[in-house]
Structure 1
Amino acid sequence: MFNTKKLLLSSAILFASASVYAATPEQVAQLGNQLTPIGAEKAGNAAGTIPAWTGGLESGSDRYSNPFASEKPIFTITAANADQYKDNLTPGQMAMLQKYADSYSIPVYPTHRTAALPADVYAAAKQNASSAELTDGGNGLSGFETAIPFPIPENGLEVIWNHMTRYRGGALERTFVQVPVQANGNFTAVKINEKMSWPSALEGGSDAKKDDNILFYFVQRVKAPSRLTGNVLLVHETMNQIAQPRQAWTYNAGQRRVRRAPQIAYDAPGTASDGQRTTDNLDLFNGAPDRYEWNLVGKQELYIPYNSFKLADRGLKYEDILQPGHMNPELTRYELHRVWKVEATLKDGERHIYAKRTFYIDEDSWQIAVVDHYDGRGELWRVGESHQFQYRDVNVPWLTAEALYDLQSGRYLVGSLTNEEGNGFDFSQRFKHKDFTPQAIRRMGK
């Protein structure tokens, strides 16, 4: 029987020590047995509304074909019936239903546990369970390889590190749009090209000296509209950002210069977002966790965006998806899944525009599914969602859209949309160290 002590932890538990002991051999033995290889409960729930995990969606080359196209919603949550389902909704989701009572809804479909990863990632996660530890007050890692350092987490910081280190294909190039949508529904899509690589996926493999403390390399270039083109961002994402802060550079097309950019962190405005997200909002959370206290509340069953094949349909135009206030609910899909609930509260003396953030992390992929953001007055401000998508051609559970809804202004931001961008995500790319240097972004800039 799985140790329920690890599932439902008191909300009073806060992480304070500099390191945590790795899982015991008995706990590690649960991986692949009572637990999935990356730490989710294999069994379904007692009600039968969440099925058992049986290996995830079968691999296949046809990435965008919808295996659930014939399914219809079991029911739809609206402002009128939201109270009936509030135990399985976040405060932010409830607020969205009330704010947009005439247009917003949550269509709930049968649950399918489709998350699947490569065998070598499963093996790495099992090894990490025995060896990985938090260091420097939880701001760094040791004894960690590949992905998912804490498949059997003990605290909120371990859960958030699982999100930040989760498997995303090793290396990829993607072209997508990020769209700031005004309250009246008007928008101008910003086309972005990104290249990412984890050190082990670089040509020739990792270099112990160059890659020391590096989590991944990242280059971002805006391709449209023309008023934003020519600027390039380079990031060397460090694992311990206290010992070695994130290294970032920008190429400014107007000045034709590369400059260090230490401000690309925390609550600095995100690239081309019209002020609608912070830097650490990208991927729903990224970067150094040191400004918050992280509290693991426990597990919860929640209606979250999942298996979003309908939203990823290549026949859709962005104007079909983006409506005033929110994305078109006829194209979204929600399912009941178990999530880890983590509360992040701003530390005394620290500064951030979000005083509190509540994260709901999918147990099967370690991807943040929903996050509620609160301002300094304690009022709900922004609601973030990742619309999960299984890239079954490469066994990568990721997303096809991430949304950030501003409850106060009525505006919202959607990123990672690729409907009009061909294949969108290319996981076949392999890069060299020289592709992630200041000299490289100078050559890329126009």
Structure 2
Amino acid sequence: MRKMIAVLALSVLAANVMAAVSPEEAAKLGTTLTPVGAEKAGNADGSIPAWTGGIPKNAGAVDSKGFLADPFASEKPLFVITAATVDKYKDKLSDGQVAMFKRYPETYKIPVYPSHRTVNLPADIYESIKRSAVNVKAINDGNGLENFTGNRYYAFPIPKNGVEVLWNHITRYHGGNLRRIITQATPQTNGSYTPIRFEEEVAVPQAIPDIDPAKAANVLSYFKQSVTAPARLAGNVLLVHETLDQVKEPRLAWIYNAGQRRVRRAPQVSYDGPGTASDGLRTTDNFDMFSGAPDRYDWKLVGKKEMYIPYNSYKLDSPSLKYDDIIKAGHINQDLTRYELHRVWEVVGTVKPSERHIYAKRHMYIDEDSWQVALVDHYDGRGQLWRVAEGHAQFYYDHQVPAYTVETLYDLIAGRYIALGMKNEEKSSFMFGFAAKAADYTPAALRSEGVR
């Protein structure tokens, strides 16, 4: 009898994991919930305002290189959290943020500004989200998606468990096909660094006219990354076919090595394999705050809470800044950062007993308005807090796209960090909506991309 009850309980649990929401529940999108599934109302004391549609596409000027004016440039911090005052605010900070104050008590600070709910998306993306709500189901123990077709965005706008929240980050809107030129830094403890320059592009199957639908059925996106500096790394190119269900079909990756003039499969570009030119300071799945397959972890949904997270980071993206203005010893220049109080989804990933990963636990905080991961605390196998990630976000209001200005990952033990995504000194900001061809994302195309 007990065995039958256990089996029945597991069946009910499986049904809950698998089920899409009802049309009645999906009707909350755009009414009590925003079109992406956030709470429309503000909080009780008004420190988080109600969502009223985000900021308009003409919220600020756009310069000749595509950089955006800061719509909130005139605002001053409400207060600045320091090591002396951190205990007063720790209920709205992650353990990792609190640890940063202890590690760098003289220099780390969190300037808190008024909160603005800036995010809004194009109308066709909102329609995709409605379709996802009533159609998409998790399969393969939450590691794949069923009925995720057409414009594939935000698989679970009304999530019921931790892995569904994570899927919303993985499947969020990046603006269609995206090109960017960015710089990565891995400073030594004294702040010295060598800039690593990347030219990257992301293309989605639904925006590649000549793609073979059968071949792209399990592909979420195509990613290409070329290293252009320093000279010792220039010419190496990475190509990734990001699969949806990576248990069914693992991520496909190839690297063109300029020194060898060869294209090779790259199975190490996954999970805790080393990130490109990262000096061992990040894993492959640290990219984009979290990327790749969720299958090595059990994901627990803790709930929602209010936290101070990096937000509306326009000042940090200013083309008037040099990288030397941003990169400092221990952490980036916190005087250039902006934090706001926002509601986040709290999710804890714990490595399954049958799996391995250098991060035994990942404690994540995901912004409700954009579904972007805002903060992650990473723990090692001994249960020790090891690395602290912050995603400094901004909203590209001219294209209605939320994205990261800079991703930082701080190693509390080594006293070093990695900053990825800076473009202040580059010739252009993000370029959205470029025309992509299927032939550009084949291993055969890699050789022509590399330069020596």
Interval containing the TM-score (normalised by the shorter chain): over 0.9
**Distance of 1:93 and 1:37 partners within structure 2:** 31
**1:74-89 aligned within 5 A:** 74-89=78-93
How far is the alpha carbon of 1:15 from its aligned partner? 7.4
- Which residue, out of 28, 31, 48, partners 2:29? 31
**Distance of 2:428 and 2:41 partners within structure 1:** 34
- Which residue, out of 110, 117, 122, partners 2:121? 117
* Cα distance change on mapping 1:410 and 1:16 into 2, 3 Å: farther
- Which residue, out of 142, 149, 164, partners 2:155? 149
Deviation digits for residues 395-416 of structure 1 (CA, Å, limit 9, x no counterpart):
0011111000010111000001
Deviation digits for residues 274-323 of structure 1 (CA, Å, limit 9, x no counterpart):
11000000001011111100000000100000000110111000000111
Structure 1 moving runs of 4+ over 4 Å: 14-19
**Distance of 2:259 and 2:187 partners within structure 1:** 27
- Which residue, out of 111, 114, 122, partners 1:107? 111
Task: Say if 2:272 and 2:358, in contact at 8 Å, map to a contact too.
Answer: yes
Residue in 2 that maps onto 1:96: 100
1:346 aligns with 2:351: yes
How far is the alpha carbon of 1:423 from its aligned partner? 2.2
Task: Say if 2:439 and 2:445, in contact at 8 Å, map to a contact too.
Answer: yes
- Which residue, out of 164, 167, 175, partners 1:169? 175
Deviation digits for residues 361-404 of structure 1 (CA, Å, limit 9, x no counterpart):
00000000000000111010000011111111110011111000
Task: Say if 1:50 and 1:337, in contact at 8 Å, map to a contact too.
Answer: yes
Question: 2:156 aligns to what SS in structure 1?
Answer: coil
**Distance of 2:364 and 2:184 partners within structure 1:** 22
**Distance of 1:124 and 1:260 partners within structure 2:** 34
**Distance of 2:427 and 2:44 partners within structure 1:** 42
How far is the alpha carbon of 1:428 from its aligned partner? 3.1
- Which residue, out of 43, 46, 71, partners 1:45? 43
- Which residue, out of 435, 441, 447, partners 1:442? 447
**Distance of 1:45 and 1:430 partners within structure 2:** 42
Question: 1:402 aligns to what SS in structure 2?
Answer: strand
Residue in 1 that maps onto 2:412: 407
- Which residue, out of 184, 199, 218, partners 1:178? 184
Residue in 2 that maps onto 1:56: 54
The count of residues paired between Structure 1 and Structure 2 equals 432
How far is the alpha carbon of 1:257 from its aligned partner? 0.8
| % identical equivalent positions | 57
**Distance of 2:95 and 2:173 partners within structure 1:** 29
RMSD: 1.3
How far is the alpha carbon of 1:100 from its aligned partner? 0.6
How far is the alpha carbon of 1:156 from its aligned partner? 0.4
Task: Say if 1:15 and 1:294, in contact at 8 Å, map to a contact too.
Answer: no
1:264 aligns with 2:262: no
How far is the alpha carbon of 1:17 from its aligned partner? 6.4
Question: 1:330 aligns to what SS in structure 2?
Answer: helix
Residue in 2 that maps onto 1:190: 196
* Cα distance change on mapping 1:278 and 1:17 into 2, 3 Å: farther
How far is the alpha carbon of 1:16 from its aligned partner? 5.9
**Distance of 1:19 and 1:208 partners within structure 2:** 28
Task: Say if 1:15 and 1:157, in contact at 8 Å, map to a contact too.
Answer: no
Deviation digits for residues 112-157 of structure 1 (CA, Å, limit 9, x no counterpart):
0001111100110011000001011111111124210100000000
Residue in 1 that maps onto 2:321: 316
Q: Which amino acid aligns with 2:92?
A: N
**1:195-344 aligned within 5 A:** 195-204=201-210, 206-344=211-349
Name the TM-score, length of structure 2 as normaliser.
0.94
Residue in 1 that maps onto 2:8: none
**1:62-73 aligned within 5 A:** 62=62, 63-73=67-77
**Distance of 1:332 and 1:58 partners within structure 2:** 23
Question: 1:128 aligns to what SS in structure 2?
Answer: helix
Residue in 2 that maps onto 1:4: none
* Cα distance change on mapping 1:245 and 1:306 into 2, 3 Å: same
Task: Say if 1:132 and 1:144, in contact at 8 Å, map to a contact too.
Answer: yes
Deviation digits for residues 193-232 of structure 1 (CA, Å, limit 9, x no counterpart):
111101001134x532121100000111100000011111
Residue in 1 that maps onto 2:366: 361
**Distance of 1:237 and 1:159 partners within structure 2:** 19
- Which residue, out of 373, 376, 383, partners 1:371? 376
Q: Which amino acid aligns with 1:131?
A: N
Name the TM-score, length of structure 1 as normaliser.
0.95
* Stretches of structure 1 lacking an aligned partner (at least 5 in a row): 1-13
How far is the alpha carbon of 1:86 from its aligned partner? 0.7
Task: Say if 1:306 and 1:334, in contact at 8 Å, map to a contact too.
Answer: yes
**Distance of 1:330 and 1:252 partners within structure 2:** 39
Residue in 2 that maps onto 1:6: none
How far is the alpha carbon of 1:19 from its aligned partner? 4.8
Deviation digits for residues 166-199 of structure 1 (CA, Å, limit 9, x no counterpart):
0001101110001111111011110001111010
How far is the alpha carbon of 1:18 from its aligned partner? 9.3
**Distance of 1:391 and 1:71 partners within structure 2:** 19
1:130 aligns with 2:130: no
Of 420-429 and 372-381, deviating more is 420-429
Of 121-130 and 421-430, deviating more is 421-430
1:418 aligns with 2:423: yes
**Distance of 2:114 and 2:386 partners within structure 1:** 30
Q: Which amino acid aligns with 1:250?
A: I
* Stretches of structure 2 lacking an aligned partner (at least 5 in a row): 1-11
Task: Say if 2:406 and 2:422, in contact at 8 Å, map to a contact too.
Answer: yes
**Distance of 1:47 and 1:35 partners within structure 2:** 19
Task: Say if 1:19 and 1:136, in contact at 8 Å, map to a contact too.
Answer: no
Q: Which amino acid aligns with 2:287?
A: L
**Distance of 1:170 and 1:16 partners within structure 2:** 33
Task: Say if 1:301 and 1:338, in contact at 8 Å, map to a contact too.
Answer: yes
Q: Which amino acid aligns with 2:69?
A: S
Residue in 2 that maps onto 1:7: none
**Distance of 2:16 and 2:255 partners within structure 1:** 33
**Distance of 2:42 and 2:89 partners within structure 1:** 20
Task: Say if 2:17 and 2:160, in contact at 8 Å, map to a contact too.
Answer: no
Residue in 2 that maps onto 1:5: none
